[in-house]
Structure 1
Amino acid sequence: MAPITTGAQPAAHAIHAKADQHAAAKKTAKRHAAPRKSTAPKLHARRSTTVAKRVVRTAAPYRVRAGDTLSAIAARHGISLAALLKANYFSDPNVVLSGSVVRLPQAARQQPVSKPAPHRAAPKRAKTAIPKTPVHRPHDSATVAATRAALARESVPSRTQTKALIETTARRYGVNPRLALGIGWQESGWSQRAVSPVNAIGTMQVMPQSGEWASGLVGRHLDLLDAHDNVTAGIAILRFLTSNAHDLDQAIGGYYQGLGAMQKHGPYADTRQYIRNVRTLMDRL
């Protein structure tokens, strides 16, 4: 018996074929669809406020000590000599005054935007006026007598030894030895036991307040009753004077009259005689 066929079977096959085609097309479209956006943060979206783009350079103050040179200061702080010279003005780079302040350029470093480096004011420079002047009133006799008594108990060098001490110390501090010798002889005749009516002490006749100021210049306490410290104080003052005076005569007069008074008023009559005496001694000693 032959099978009976109807029109329903071909229609069902066609429906399934279309469904298969639709599924295949849907699968192909899904395969070629654009990928979904990633939820991960982009690298360039990182916060940009943590570090400033501009490099900030800072400078720190440094007070020069006895024996310092610009090369030594630069090497000690890990900077170049050229950078140190650029950060400061030196009238003579070969002479660095003890007690003066120089600015040390620090290595460039990045600073946070929200926390800029604080400004630091440089310490005040030492006053240019030397305290000692010939117009000081005499100290009371008890003070002067006490100083003389204290010096009498000290062991002091001979004049020959004092001359050698002055020359050695002057060369160490970059002062003309003949200038130091002339000042020392004019002041005391190279006698460490000398004490003036105004209580100027020792070989270089240094006033106590001038001795305190000189201690700041060399970076240590100077005992004016000690011959070595007394000569050191006087020569440190001379180095300051020769570095800051207009000429040698003003420096010599400044040791006697005070540099501030010399610059303001010029030399007094007794100061002019003092300068002539020291000039003569410089040629003879």
Structure 2
Amino acid sequence: MAPLTTGAPPAAAHVIHAQAAANAQHQKGAQHAAPKKSTAPRLSPRHTTSVAKKATRTSKPYRVRSGDNLTTIAARHHVSLAALIKHNRISTPNRVLSGSTLQIPHRTTAPTKAAAKKPAKKATSKKSPAHKTASRGDATRSALAKRAVPSRTQTKAIIEKTARRYGVNPHLALGISWQESGWNQRVVSSASAVGVMQVMPQSGEWASAMVGHDLDLLDTHDNITAGVVILRYLTSNATSLNQAIGGYYQGLGAMQQHGAYDETKQYIRNVRALMERL
């Protein structure tokens, strides 16, 4: 799938597809022994009490920028990928569309019971999400460079066979995959979409759940399987072929809510033309 600048599976700036509130931890203050003729414990003067906080989930809007994907957005806002997907009811997490708005889940706190203050943690420097994504992409390219990959003719045959196996129109699978990578398994996008079908790692996990076993996106057969089962989901849940095609690029949820964006319309035209030729 194309970079998440544009929302699988089952979505494709490759947009669209959260976590239970964490219990606040409490630290007990040390106590001195009670003085004579008194049974009431006293808190040590070395510890001050504060009100413990119970986490509650709220959200704030975030406008997707060029180069974003769900993984980097989640990391940037310190939320889990699962929380982000669930909170936004994303059915196709392989892409996020630049310019669309996501709701970022975050925790607020409400007073509960007394607890001792914890010492502040030392600030540590962290690599930016974009840096991590770039590093992951480089590592993926390096790994793919060491793997044998089929020729384009062989890849075409694998796509057709896999599409028929899962009940997907082979011409649709061929058109999408050519638009995405030119049937080149070694293509890795700036957002870490991998291979012939340009599947994002999180979309690969989703596709693995659909087929019932782990799929290795670096393997051409598994990569094609992931893309095809995503297409099966899209064609089964979209109201038209154009919506399904756009869903692979923009995300089905975004297509249903907003219709196709201009760049998605061009993507659909490209794929429809390829379906006629391939």
Normalised-by-shorter TM-score class: 0.5 to 0.7
SS in 2 for 1:146: helix
Report the alpha carbon displacement of residue 216 of structure 1 after superposing the two structures with TM. Answer: 0.7
Q: Which amino acid aligns with 1:255?
A: Y
Alignment of 1:96-135 (within 5 A): 129-135=91-97
2:274 counterpart residue number: 281
After TM superposition, give the deviation of residue 128 of structure 1 in Å: 6.4
Per-residue CA distance 1:177-216 (angstroms, 9 max, x = gap): 0000000000000000000011000000000000000001
SS of residue paired to 1:263: helix
**How far apart are the structure 1 equivalents of 2:247 and 2:94?**
9
Residues 69-121 of structure 1: CA distance to partner in whole angstroms, max 9, x if unpaired? xxxxxxxxxxxxxxxxxxxxxxxxxxxxxxxxxxxxxxxxxxxxxxxxxxxxx
2:242 and 2:233 map into 1 onto residues whose CA distance is 14
* 1:48-83 alpha-carbon deviations (Å, 9 max, x no partner): xxxxxxxxxxxxxxxxxxxxxxxxxxxxxxxxxxxx
Task: For residue 135 of structure 1, report the CA deviation from its aligned partner.
Answer: 3.3
Structure-1 residue corresponding to 2:167:
174
* Residues 66-77 of structure 1: pairs in structure 2 closer than 5 A: none
C-alpha displacement of 1:132 = 1.9
- Gaps of at least 5 residues in structure 1 are 1-126
Distance apart, 1:140 and its partner CA: 3.0
C-alpha displacement of 1:256: 0.5
For residues 191 and 257 of structure 1, the distance between their equivalents in structure 2, rounded to whole angstroms, comes to: 22
1:134 deviates by 4.6
The structure whose residues are more often strand, as a share, is: 2
After the TM superposition, list the runs of 4 or more consecutive aligned residues in structure 1 that deviate by more than 4 angstroms: 136-139
**C-alpha contact (below 8 Å) 2:244/2:252 kept by paired residues:** yes
Q: CA deviation at 1:153?
A: 1.1
- Aligned partner of 2:244 among 224, 233, 251: 251
Aligned to 1:268: 261
Larger Rg: 1
Pairing 1:224–2:217 present: yes
Among residues 186, 189, 195, which one is paired with 1:193 in the alignment?
186
Code of the aligned partner of 1:133: R
Deviation at residue 133 of structure 1 after TM alignment: 2.1
- 3-state SS of paired residue (2:191): coil
Q: Is the 8 A contact 2:215 2:226 kept in 1?
A: yes
User: Alignment partner for residue 205 of structure 1, among 180, 198, 209?
Assistant: 198
CA distance in 1, matches of 2:157, 2:207: 21
Aligned residue type for 1:217: M
Structure 2 counterpart SS, 1:140: helix
Q: TM-score, normalised to structure 2's length?
A: 0.55
- State the 1:154 CA deviation: 1.2
- One-letter amino acid of the counterpart of residue 271, structure 1: T
Separation (CA, whole Å) in 2 of partners of 1:135 and 1:143: 21
1:142 match: 135
Root-mean-square deviation (Å): 1.8
Shift of 1:265: 1.0
State the percentage of identical aligned residues: 67
Supply the distance in 2 between the matched residues of 1:145 and 1:274 (Cα, whole angstroms).
Answer: 27
Consecutive unaligned residues of structure 2, counting only runs of 5 or more, are 1-88, 99-128
1:128/1:244 Cα in 2 relative to 1: closer, same or farther (>3 Å)?
farther
SS of structure 1 residue aligned to 2:91: coil
| Contact in 2 for aligned 1:132/1:257 (Cα 8 Å) | no
CA distance in 1: counterparts of 2:202 and 2:143, whole angstroms: 18
2: CA distance, partners of 1:229 / 1:251: 21
Structure holding more helix per residue: 1
- Looking at structure 2, the residues matched to 171 and 157 of structure 1 have their Cα atoms a distance apart, in angstroms, of 19
Seen in structure 2, the aligned counterparts of structure 1 residues 185 and 243 have a Cα distance that, compared at 3 Å, is: same
Q: Is the 8 A contact 2:177 2:197 kept in 1?
A: yes
8 Å Cα contact 2:95/2:200 also seen in 1: no
Q: Which residue of 1 aligns with 2:119?
A: none
Does the alignment pair 1:236 with 2:236?
no
